[in-house]
Amino acid sequence: MSSSSVVQFNIQVSNDLTQNVKPLLHEIKHALDNLIETGQTTIIDLRSIPLAPGEEDYILKTLGLGEVQAKLDALGLSEVIETQYAGVWIVTHYNDENHIISRFIEVTTMPEILSSQTEDIMAAYSNLAITLQDDLEIN
pLDDT, tens digit (0-9, with 9 covering 90-100), for 52-105: 888 999 999 999 999 999 999 988 899 999 999 999 999 999 999 999 999 999
Helix (H) or strand (E) holding 23: helix 21-38
pLDDT over 80 (residue 136)? no
User: Per the domain annotation, does 131 fall within a domain?
Assistant: no
Among 24-28, 124-128, 135-139, the range scoring the smallest mean pLDDT is 135-139
pTM given for the model = 0.78
Total tally of structural domains belonging to the chain:
1
In a domain, 134, yes or no: no
Average pLDDT, the chain: 88
Reported confidence tier of residue 10, pLDDT bands at 50, 70, 90: very low
Please check whether residue 115 lies inside any domain of the structure.
yes
Quick count: other Cβ atoms within 10 Å of Cβ 34?
14
Domain that holds residue 57: 21-119
CATH code of residue 74: 3.30.1370.140
